[in-house]
Structure 1
Amino acid sequence: MAESPLPPPSQLPEARNSLLRARTTSTSTYCRICEACCGLIAELNGDRLVRVRPNSEHVHSRGFSCNKPQGLVELTYDPDRITAPMVRTGPPGEFSPISWDEALDLCTARLSAVRDEHGPEAIAMLRGNPPFFDSGGVLWGRGFSAALGISRTYTINAEDGAARLTANEALYGDVSRFPRPDLWHTDLALIIGANPLQARSTRVSEPQTREAFDAIIARGGRVLVVDPRRTVTADRYEHIGIRPGTDPWFLMGVCKVICESDEATALSERGAPVSGRREFAALAASFDLDDCADRCGTDRETLVQVGRAFIAAGSAIVYGGTGTCAQRFGTLTNVLQDTILALTGNIDRVGGLLAGWAAIDLTPATPGPRSGSRRSRVEGRPEVAGGLPSAGLAADITCPGEDRIRALVVYGNNSVLTSGGGGGRLEAALQELDFSMALDLYMNETNRFAHVLLPATTMYERSDYPVTTGNMQLRPTAYATRAVIPPVGQARDSWWVFDEVSRRMGLGGSCPDKELEAAAHARGARPTPVELIDRLLANGPVDALTFEDLVTDHPNGIALRDTVPVGRLTGGLPTRDGCVQLFSDQLRSEVATLRHYAEPDDEWPLRLIGRREKGSQNTWMHNASLIYPDEYRFAAHVHATDAATCGVRDGADVRLVSRSGSIVVPIAVVDTIRPGVVSVPNGWGHKGGSWTRSNSFGGVNSNDLVSPDDVEAIAGMSILNGVPVRMEKLDP
């Protein structure tokens, strides 16, 4: 059913600074760095972007924005940025500029040669996080893979959220059946493995997370934060500290309390239908509550009180982040998060978990292949939602065989630093490729091995609609942006690059809508992402909505619904009985593994966890002085007790050692972390890239401590949190 008519046109709010108003013109845009996708106002002096400010009238972000968009203004004009096509003329990192025609012809010839001799299976795609927010790149990237016959795409999912996807499959029968926490209407929120007041959005598109959590408190509810660190989120609400990697013990303890309560049956019946409740309750009964508490480093009473809070709450959600995924029991942890809500009747219910709704929703109508039905060719790492773990790429390149990867298209990725199977292992493998091409803003630690490096546009230089994040919104809205400045130098949109290469290869364009492509071809034109977005809008649930209308008449966006609807999460579930599955095969196998897992001995007394710093975004924002000023110091955070045990003081360099490697890092002694934990910022270890500022800070790569072979079984997650380590004092 079509939604209500569109509201009347709106206008951008003026800048409060009269000098800024006099010297610049304003235009609407939005941020495409993280899932929040905040509304912005770009201030222009001619064709130059001067600054961006939060749009106070934007229906989605309501005046919020962090400092990353302004940092990206700096990076847009960064002299270290790649702004012309480059060809490698020597060892890795040695490039010379060439023309676009020369670069595209070279990519066409080399990719065609590999494809003709070894077949399309010899070409693979390596995709990172930034492309997720590039609507044209997402759509045309799919078309490019289809045109070339690329069947293997390696992604960062196994360092990010693959375990959440496999949990969706275990519970709801489909990796794409994605639950969203109804933050604005719940009475109780348990945040685990996430720091939303700093990262802002994780697997939801909600810039107003602090306001949503504060509103829970204002309604008389509670917000509980489970984390080994006292993060800014934990500091604002009720903090429960646990040992890293012990989340399933904590969650199973809470489940046990709920299952053994007098209210258990009545609670479970108020939400969506569930299957396997009795079997799960029997499983939970076999766990000892004191043992659960001891393993996660808390006490029995805490587990009891958390369980009782869920029993008493009128509605409740569990909000999990990347920290719940990139650990040894990532799938199990995510399954148990939703199990708590299923046991208390909070699935597909107002104030509980709901499914997204959007004007454009790219979610497949039917489930795709089951997770793990395809695997990486050498190490057998599971493909999840069409993405193979980047940690398996090195072996798939180097291991002999007709089906080995010989050519690679690298799109906004830096797996040498971000992947659990990156580092020197991947560096060596990349040098064995017959050919590789890369699209990015900078030469980085991964694409420095490419044969051709192509300059991509920043978000300010391209038109976009939030095609991938619309169904993550908790308050559905629609908005769009044109490019606010011309591309710097010779940068080009990624969709155009994909389209041009596939055309030159004689394989047709990369537009995924072949009807649109044929119509454009008939009039002697090339289809554009804006045209495809209009077709997607026309086929969606909102009448009379076009890209041009949004940009011209609705620069502050349009509110489509107050909240997401009930019934979409569990309606027509593709499970064996149409119910939420509480006793899945995945749960049973992982619980068995959990019971038999033995923590390493006293040789490894500490547990490593990652840390996203304020303003950081994986590896690629470190060159911005606004975010990383000259006085920034890279450091591992440790508790005073552990520093004293090691015989070191604040600021000292120490060696962190795991079974897989070691790093030397300065420490900062803090009181925001529990004893026995060391926290190292992720995404560092810059060397050899074009970003001179990033290189100068001297940070090290914490993934050097991670085993490329020790992975979570179901989702293939790299184990980045809870890694056993020891800290050694360096010789004077």
Structure 2
Amino acid sequence: DIDNTDHFLMFGANPLASNGSIMSVADVKQRLKDVRKRGKLVVVDPRRTATAELADAHYFVRPGSDVLVLLAMLNVLFKDNLVNTGSLTEYLDQDPAELAASFAEFNPEKVAPLTGMSAEVIRTMVHDFCAASQPVMYGRLGVSVQEFGTLTQYLIMLFNILTGRLDSVGGLMFTKPAVDILAQSGRGHMGRFHSRVRGLPEFNGELPVATLAEEITTPGTGQIKGMMLIAGNPVLSTPNGEQLDRAFAKLDLLVAVDFYINESSRHADFILPPVSPLEREHYDVTFNVLAVRNNARYAEALFPRPADGRHDWEILLGLRDRLQPAHSIKEKLARNTMRRMGPSGILNVLLRKGPYGGGRNPFAGLSLSKLKKSPHGVDLGALKPVGAALSYHGDRKVHLESAFFLKDVARVNTRFFNRDTAGDKLLLIGRRDVRSNNSWLHNSHRLVKGKDRCTVLINPEDARHLNVDDGQQLRVSSRVGSIELAAAISDEMMPGVVSIPHGWGHHRSGTQWLEAEAHAGVSVNDLTDEMHLDELSGNAVLNGVPVTLQALGESA
């Protein structure tokens, strides 16, 4: 609830470049400035990002050690009697006091040497947070895609709960979207089945992408022989992309629904191109669920599609009808109705059935026709506490699930305290640029022109130690591979940490996006390791990857 927050404590996030992820927000820069007027903005990140530059305070943290900082913050919360669940108390399925023992050994003095943050700073962050009227703790991709990403996100949520900041004005709040896909889908699930080779758990029916290559290349029952890619480029977006690139070449069948021939779809036997984004209508059913203010907006297609053009949904329904024909009259009628309605018809039904719709009254409430008359969107009001609606559980309680998440604390101890963590390797993190949305925007001249943004950021101390000049070519190597790119020396990086952006690497033969190829860059996922996982979820580790650097030639 950024519009009311007066103390914003942010881990591993750079909303000035990414728009906020689970905080979908317009003009985030001004909103963060307004937070500072009301109170304070604090950023914890191994890089002094654009958001950190704007903050009142920025603290470097060693990649992957955020979990230690948060365990210590929870230790302080209990030791200094700062736990206050407020109105949340009646909705919790556990007494918070039962959790204190899990954090007892993680005092700030113990974790400080491993995190790069002082014990005093850790204590100050807790006390400043609790002294504010409407604070919130927020963590995004930077903390999600590391060795303890799942536990770290849990601890962030737990800290907000134990300070009464969940479902509270200025804290973590829930939207009331016009089309609520969460209400349609209900609760998720995890671990109902596991991957064939490594036994990694599914989440909501999806297996971790780190296991994809081995599922293609390992013989036996259940081996993946064919795949369909829909608007994706996993060779550039998954760990150890080179390995996946080789695996795709071995598939019996690969079908791509894409209007680009990219680094992944170049392996396709069939490419089924949909219309472009400017030739289709748009209503956001995902990010409205994550918005900082309830709203609804419908955008009509800017250009008519060509006569032989097909929308993604038409392509997929056509494939379904061929691969899985309808067998009954009822099923045929249902499919025909869906095809006739299309996304607009379905959207109108969902709007009318939603919390702002008029139901059966055709003249009342929100409808598609009303949205079309308001091309700039409709403001549906500020976020409000939802109370008992917090939970999908039958007992209407918030289940803290502490046994599942906190069992990973034992692995934290092993990783940081029961083995030697020293070494001469640097730690690699990613980064995002506002003009570089994954790999999709690299075929636009307006977005890739200018100075090279695919560089390795390195702290001046590390550059001196390696005898590296600004602009000099470096070879960056990990367990799985090496890439070569120019150095960009900057004190925005924490010593011992380097940063390479994701989404680049358009140098492979057989692709057909000329502008991207002219600004190819290299893929950071040729360094990330499919065997380096967050064991609690099976998610790949993309931040905190150990790498070595070698200077190659003269500076550019």
TM-score by length of 2: 0.91
1:342 and 2:164 matched: no
The match for 2:411 is: 593
1:533 and 2:347 matched: yes
Alignment of 1:320-359 (within 5 A): 320-359=139-178
The match for 1:74 is: none
**Structure 2 counterpart of 1:268, which letter?**
T
Distance 2:484 2:109 in 1: 38
Distance 1:601 1:478 in 2: 49
Which residue, 198, 201, 214 being the options, matches 1:382?
A: 201
The match for 1:434 is: 252
Q: Does the CA contact (< 8 Å) of 1:355 and 1:569 recur in 2?
A: no
Pairwise CA distance, 1:278: 1.8
Q: How many residues of Structure 1 are paired with residues of Structure 2 in the alignment?
A: 538
Distance 1:489 1:730 in 2: 53
**Structure 1 counterpart of 2:436, which letter?**
S
Distance 2:304 2:376 in 1: 22
The match for 2:85 is: 268
Pairwise CA distance, 1:364: 4.8
Distance 1:568 1:430 in 2: 48
Pairwise CA distance, 1:723: 1.0
**Structure 2 counterpart of 1:708, which letter?**
E
What SS does the aligned partner of 1:383 have? strand
What SS does the aligned partner of 1:436 have? strand
The match for 2:362 is: none
Task: Say which is worse superposed, 277-286 or 612-621, in terms of deviation.
Answer: 277-286
**Structure 1 counterpart of 2:300, which letter?**
R
The match for 1:548 is: 369
1:701 and 2:527 matched: no
The match for 1:289 is: 108
The match for 2:386 is: 566
1:222 and 2:40 matched: yes
Cα distance, 1:270–1:633 mapped onto 2, change above 3 Å: closer
What SS does the aligned partner of 2:133 have? coil
The match for 1:317 is: 136
1:656 and 2:470 matched: no
Pairwise CA distance, 1:614: 2.5
Distance 1:724 1:631 in 2: 27
The match for 2:547 is: 725
Cα distance, 1:350–1:580 mapped onto 2, change above 3 Å: farther
Which residue, 302, 316, 328 being the options, matches 1:498?
A: 316
Alignment of 1:71-86 (within 5 A): none
Alignment of 1:134-533 (within 5 A): 182-219=1-38, 221-237=39-55, 238-264=57-83, 267-272=84-89, 273-274=91-92, 275-364=94-183, 367-368=186-187, 370-423=189-242, 425-487=243-305, 490-505=308-323, 507-508=325-326, 517=334, 520=337, 526-533=340-347
The match for 1:684 is: 504
Cα distance, 1:491–1:600 mapped onto 2, change above 3 Å: farther
Instruction: Describe the superposition over 1:142-174 as per-residue Cα deviations: whole angstroms up to 9, x where unpaired.
Output: xxxxxxxxxxxxxxxxxxxxxxxxxxxxxxxxx
Pairwise CA distance, 1:516: 7.8
Pairwise CA distance, 1:366: 6.8
Cα distance, 1:515–1:225 mapped onto 2, change above 3 Å: farther
The match for 1:579 is: 398
Cα distance, 1:593–1:676 mapped onto 2, change above 3 Å: same
Q: Does the CA contact (< 8 Å) of 1:623 and 1:693 recur in 2?
A: yes
Distance 2:475 2:512 in 1: 28
What SS does the aligned partner of 1:448 have? helix
What SS does the aligned partner of 2:181 have? coil
Distance 2:197 2:479 in 1: 23
Cα distance, 1:253–1:592 mapped onto 2, change above 3 Å: same
**Structure 1 counterpart of 2:376, which letter?**
N
Q: Which runs of 5+ in 2 are unaligned?
A: 359-364
Instruction: Return the structure number with greater relative CO, CA threshold 8 A, min gap 6.
Output: 1
**Percentage of pairs with the same residue:** 32
Pairwise CA distance, 1:453: 0.8
**Structure 1 counterpart of 2:346, which letter?**
L
Instruction: Describe the superposition over 1:550-587 as per-residue Cα deviations: whole angstroms up to 9, x where unpaired.
Output: 11x21121111222443266245467x82341x61233
Distance 2:441 2:17 in 1: 15
Distance 1:215 1:514 in 2: 54
Distance 2:199 2:543 in 1: 22
Distance 1:430 1:468 in 2: 30
**Structure 1 counterpart of 2:347, which letter?**
I
Distance 1:433 1:202 in 2: 34
Pairwise CA distance, 1:433: 2.1
Distance 2:505 2:310 in 1: 28
Q: Which runs of 5+ in 1 are unaligned?
A: 1-181
Q: Does the CA contact (< 8 Å) of 1:398 and 1:429 recur in 2?
A: yes
Task: Say which is worse superposed, 676-685 or 460-469, in terms of deviation.
Answer: 460-469
Distance 1:535 1:516 in 2: 18
What SS does the aligned partner of 1:305 have? helix
**Structure 1 counterpart of 2:530, which letter?**
P
Pairwise CA distance, 1:298: 1.0
Which residue, 636, 653, 665 being the options, matches 2:456?
A: 636
Distance 2:528 2:53 in 1: 29
Instruction: Describe the superposition over 1:307-339 as per-residue Cα deviations: whole angstroms up to 9, x where unpaired.
Output: 101221222211211111110000111011111
CA RMSD of aligned residues (A): 2.4
Distance 1:595 1:488 in 2: 60
Pairwise CA distance, 1:233: 0.4
Distance 1:520 1:328 in 2: 47
Distance 1:213 1:360 in 2: 28
The match for 1:716 is: 538
Instruction: Describe the superposition over 1:169-212 as per-residue Cα deviations: whole angstroms up to 9, x where unpaired.
Output: xxxxxxxxxxxxx1112221111111001211212221232232
The match for 1:125 is: none
Cα distance, 1:530–1:731 mapped onto 2, change above 3 Å: closer
Task: Say which is worse superposed, 643-652 or 679-688, in terms of deviation.
Answer: 679-688
Q: Does the CA contact (< 8 Å) of 2:69 and 2:115 recur in 1?
A: yes
Cα distance, 1:547–1:568 mapped onto 2, change above 3 Å: farther
Cα distance, 1:568–1:188 mapped onto 2, change above 3 Å: farther
The match for 1:126 is: none
Q: Does the CA contact (< 8 Å) of 1:372 and 1:383 recur in 2?
A: yes
Cα distance, 1:298–1:578 mapped onto 2, change above 3 Å: same
